[in-house]
Structure 1
């Protein structure tokens, strides 16, 4: 079974063909908090740059990322910090 980081990377790459994608598992920082599990893989930070975000509001970009990761939320992803935008220029 692939880990959540790999699945997030595959999903976001397929949907957004990003120029830049950084995924950080921050679960250890949230140990003992709501939604955290002893196994981890519950809290992530994503930084993504994609042409597909051009013209979208910040809320719309975050909504698109959340929609792309719906299956991960359905299977235990609890929190996702998102920094998204189009390429500069």
Structure 2
């Protein structure tokens, strides 16, 4: 069973996020190698507009109720609207301009 994949699929289908990260942090805890018990979720969706933090977390917990009941020991939630995410973290940085690569080497 892949808990991380289940979490990702459920959150993708329920929230249709603009950004989603599901990070298995179990290795940072006293659990056997390969465990899937501690996760961090970063979820950015317009569905959180106008919702208080507690209600955002409740919505995520409701979607993941089976995993929380049987598999997950700890779940860190970071929930944002697109506007909040943008104001905190901005855009992804632009890639640098190409310096020629193989074309330059062939000259």
TM-score when normalising by structure 2:
0.73
The residue that corresponds to 2:27 in the other structure is: 28
Tell me which protein shows more helix as a share of its residues: 2
Alignment coverage as a number of residue pairs: 83
> What CA RMSD, in Å, does the superposition of the two structures yield over aligned residues?
1.3
More RCO (CA 8 Å, sep 6+)? 1
Q: Give the greater-gyration-radius structure (CA).
A: 2
Counterpart secondary structure, 2:23? strand
Counterpart secondary structure, 1:83? strand
The residue that corresponds to 1:40 in the other structure is: 35
Shift in Å at residue 29 of structure 1?
A: 0.6
| Structure 1 unpaired stretches of 5+ | 32-36
| Structure 2 unpaired stretches of 5+ | 85-107
